[in-house]
Structures are given as structure tokens and as C-alpha cells.
Amino acid sequence: MTGLWALLKGLRGHWIPEQEIRAEAWALGGRHLGEVTEGARRELRAPDISVRRAVLLKAVIRSQTR
């Protein structure tokens, strides 16, 4: 598990373009009837989610709380 932890920690520091975050927020709103933050949280609970997708969804959640 140490290797996975290091990978997750490393990805957290990578910059995700604001345009990609906005596009994902828009798509989440469409899929979840305008509930962007709740939709992102639901999708984060998926068992087969990739690390990259999880980082993106967390960025969307952060952007919605600003």
C-alpha cells in the first residue's frame, strides 16, 4: 500500500487545468440534474474509479465550495 499512497500523494500535487475542472463540473451537472457537488461525491464512491478521475472530481468539489 505504500506505493499506492506515494502515487496518490504525488498526483495530488499535479495541477489540473481550470478549463478541465469547469468542463467536468458542467458534465456532472448534466448527469446529476444540476447537483454538481453531490454528483461528484457519488461518482467518487464508485469502486472502479481511476486515481486521475478521483483527483479531478475532488478538484471539482473544491472549486464548487469557493
pLDDT digits (tens, 9 = 90+) for 4-46: 766 666 655 567 899 999 999 999 999 999 999 999 999 999 9
| The model's pTM | 0.77
- Per-residue pLDDT band for 66 (boundaries 50, 70, 90) equals confident
What pLDDT does 15 receive?
79
| CB contact burial 24-60 (16+ within 10 A = b; e otherwise) | bbeebeeebeeebbebbbebeeeeeeeeeebebbebb
What pLDDT does 33 receive?
97
